[in-house]
Amino acid sequence: MDMKQILILGLCLVPVWTCNMNRCFNESELIGAVNRTLKRCYPQPEEPQHAGKHDSDPSCPVAFFPQYGGIHERSLSPWRYVLVTMEDHFPSTYAKAECLCSGCILIQANKSPVESHDYNSYAVMQNRVFLKRELCNDKTKYRLTPVTVKVAVGCTCLRAKTSN
């Protein structure tokens, strides 16, 4: 193996070494390893403060469309945040956006807002990396495996598809 091949091999292995993806951790080391790996290799977005669990069915707020509030409330395609939990993943809980309208809210001068189905509310997706805890071969320690999950982060309006 010449020097160029060794250098290329080393550059390929650096991310594996620095992110500890193949190492097994006991229970007491696991949380520290999770925090270091997420911070160094997979920074996480800040979760919305108004995320919560909702038991009721979401409804389109066309009758009480707010002029003030967060982007998720004032959007023509409003959404709410719902907490999702994934066992054996870090972070184990995250917020996903849930569109409140099937159409989009239209605002016309001197008229009440209406939901128009000429447009569709559509979830905007973003890939996020989570660390999955998996049992190592020795059955006493855990390995952290990065997994990519598509997460809805908001909603937007699209022109409805029409058939010819």
CA 66 – CA 74 distance, rounded (Å): 6
Least confident of 57-71, 94-108, 119-133: 57-71
Per-residue pLDDT, averaged over 137-149, amounts to: 93
Asked if residue 116 lies in contact with residue 104, where contact means CB atoms within 8 angstroms, the answer is yes
pLDDT, tens only, 1-60? 666 655 555 554 444 445 656 789 988 888 999 999 999 998 888 888 766 655 556 788
Q: What is the CATH number of domain 23-159?
A: 2.10.90.10
Pairing label, strands 142-159, 24-25 = antiparallel
Dihedral class, residue 29 (left if φ above 0, else alpha if ψ from -120 to 50, else beta) = alpha
* pTM of the shown model: 0.76
Higher pLDDT, 57 or 143: 143
Q: Give the per-residue pLDDT at 14.
A: 46
DSSP, res 63:
G
CA 31 – CA 20 distance, rounded (Å): 13
CA 19 – CA 96 distance, rounded (Å): 26
Break the chain into its structural domains and give their ranges. Answer: 23-159
Q: What is the mean pLDDT of the chain?
A: 84
H-helix segments, the chain: 3-19, 27-41, 71-74
